[in-house]
Amino acid sequence: MVFAAVLYVSCKKKTTLSTDNCANIACKNGGSCTQGFCSCPDGYELADCSKPSLSRYLGNWSMHDSIVGSNKDSLLHRSNVYDVTIKGVPGSSIDFYLDGITGNSGYYNLPCRLEDTLTRHYLPLEFRAADLYGYSTPRPMIVTTFLGVVNEGGYYIHGRYIRQYPLADSTVENDTLVYNAFKQ
């Protein structure tokens, strides 16, 4: 009888397992845990949201671009190789500046923004410069779009951008360029 009572109590004993999958998960930079996984805020990635997404872009790049569309036929298929620098905007995890576009050091602080920072993987991200006012020195230029994709290792970007130059006769030169860039 005692054996049966012990066996009955043993079988009825409740086993308590933790149902809180987030008990030992620490999400950084304002991330939140749901069902054992961190959901990262814009601009952060990795399993614990510890890495700024922007970090793979920062630094010096060797840029190769070619004009694939223009309202000036004489410019089509012109290529250029030059260096650019990508630097972060202080206090932001998604905004950055591009210096040296078109190979001219006078074009600096082109404002850009990471448009897709939801993934924690090195999947294609897009960055875009919108409404750049242009420059008075050197020649005035406006970059209307700047799109790019970075590879998994963070050392290669390719994409396209559109630039406009206001001309003296009140018209605008529109050029579409494709580019690839390698981290130095």
Read off the pLDDT of residues 89-132 as tens digits, 9 standing for 90 and up: 888 888 888 899 888 888 888 888 777 654 433 444 555 554 44
Residue 179 has pLDDT above 70, yes or no: yes
CA distance 137 to 152: 37
Residue 24 has pLDDT above 50, yes or no: yes
The 10s digit of each residue's pLDDT in 36-48 is: 999 988 888 889 9
Q: How confident is the model over 35-64, as a mean pLDDT?
A: 89
Entry pTM:
0.72
CA distance 134 to 138: 10
Domain ranges of the chain: 54-183
Q: Are 45 and 37 in contact (CB under 8 A)?
A: no
CA distance 92 to 142: 23
What CATH number has the domain spanning 54-183?
Answer: 2.40.128
Selection from 21-30, 60-69, 162-171 with the highest mean pLDDT: 60-69
Residue 140 has pLDDT above 60, yes or no: yes
Q: What is the mean pLDDT of the chain?
A: 80
Least confident of 3-7, 65-69, 145-149: 3-7
Collapsed DSSP state (helix, strand, coil) of residue 103:
helix
